[in-house]
Amino acid sequence: MGQLVFIGLGLFDEKDLTVRMVEEIKTANAIFVEMYTSLMPGFSMLRLEALVGKKVTQVSRHLLEDENGELILKAAKKGKVVFLVPGDPLIATTHVDLRIRAVQQGVATRILHGASIVSAVVGLSGLQNYKFGRSVTIPFPQSTFTSTTPYEVITQNQEMGLHTLCYLDIQAKAQRYMTIKEGLEVLLTLESRVENQVISLDTVVLGVARAGSPDPVVKAGSIKEVTNVEFGPPPHSLIIPGDLHFMEADALVTLAEGPEQLRKKAR
């Protein structure tokens, strides 16, 4: 019986593979990788192939979503297939779908977890994990429709004093990655439409660029300030903090150059 092993590549480059993952890949009959659900800024196919000593096939969104990953499933019925995915492999819904399909077709599955933006951004922020409410993706605005979901999620979390982690949209095919500045513009636009007085130029936010890379940038401040910070290349993420504990205020000031007055509002 075949098997399909989901492997999480982590956040930056091929050296984020674990010792176990390298062993696992070396004994695989076929190796696939996708690079469209997240951006790994240091990743190189050539260096990956050199590290594992094998040929790796890159698969597209089309193959996974329109063709339901049939190429991968077909190979996994005949032998051991590894499927390399940025971050932690089953955070992307599309890969959960592939796993369900595999199990339903009699293919055994395993997961080797990698470092994920989900915990990395929380860790870099210094904010406490259990004080985050639900997270949300800020999508690129469309000419005809802009979703108000990010605004609603932030509002709901703020009412409970909780932090909001905002993932920023990715259009990998167009190599378009939303910046912190663009994300903040979307939020201000939503405020001007919904007018619930949740977001203003004085709202304190935290921008995180290139989490998991050797040169992450983490900066807290008002939207007015953070909009003008040069965060450098993608990927970017955004946090809208809720109520701050003393130590969280300390973290934002010390680790993220946040304004000293954050300490006054902490409790």
How many CB atoms are located within 10 Å of the residue 243 CB?
A: 14
Q: Minimum CB separation from a copy of itself for residue 51, in Å?
A: 7
Nearer to a copy of itself, 100 or 201 (CB): 100
Sign for the CA dihedral angle at 111, 117, 119, 124 comes to positive
Q: Minimum CB separation from a copy of itself for residue 201, in Å?
A: 27
Q: Which of 94, 86, 88 is nearest to 66 (CA)?
A: 94
- Where are any strands of DSSP class E within 42-184? 57-59, 80-85, 108-112, 136-138, 164-168, 170-171, 176-177
How many CB atoms are located within 10 Å of the residue 204 CB?
A: 20
Q: Minimum CB separation from a copy of itself for residue 202, in Å?
A: 25
Q: Minimum CB separation from a copy of itself for residue 28, in Å?
A: 16
The per-residue DSSP string of 149-212 comes to HHHHHHHHHHHTT-BEEEEE-EEGGGTEE--HHHHHHHHHHHHHHH--S---TT-EEEEEESTT
Give residues in contact with a copy of itself (CB under 8 A).
8, 10-11, 14-20, 22-23, 51, 87-91, 93, 96-97, 99-100, 103-104, 110-111, 113-116, 118-120, 122-124, 126, 128-137, 156, 160, 162, 211-212, 214, 216, 247, 250-251, 254-255
Cis peptide before 150 (omega within 30 of 0): no
DSSP state, residue 63: I
Pairing of strands 170-171, 164-168: unpaired
Nearer to a copy of itself, 69 or 227 (CB): 69
Calpha distance 178→21 (Å, rounded): 30
Nearer to a copy of itself, 163 or 204 (CB): 163
Q: Minimum CB separation from a copy of itself for residue 223, in Å?
A: 23
Nearer to a copy of itself, 198 or 227 (CB): 198
Nearer to a copy of itself, 130 or 145 (CB): 130
Q: Minimum CB separation from a copy of itself for residue 136, in Å?
A: 6
266 neighbors 246 (Cβ within 8 angstroms): yes
Nearer to a copy of itself, 29 or 137 (CB): 137
Q: Minimum CB separation from a copy of itself for residue 204, in Å?
A: 18
Nearer to a copy of itself, 227 or 235 (CB): 235
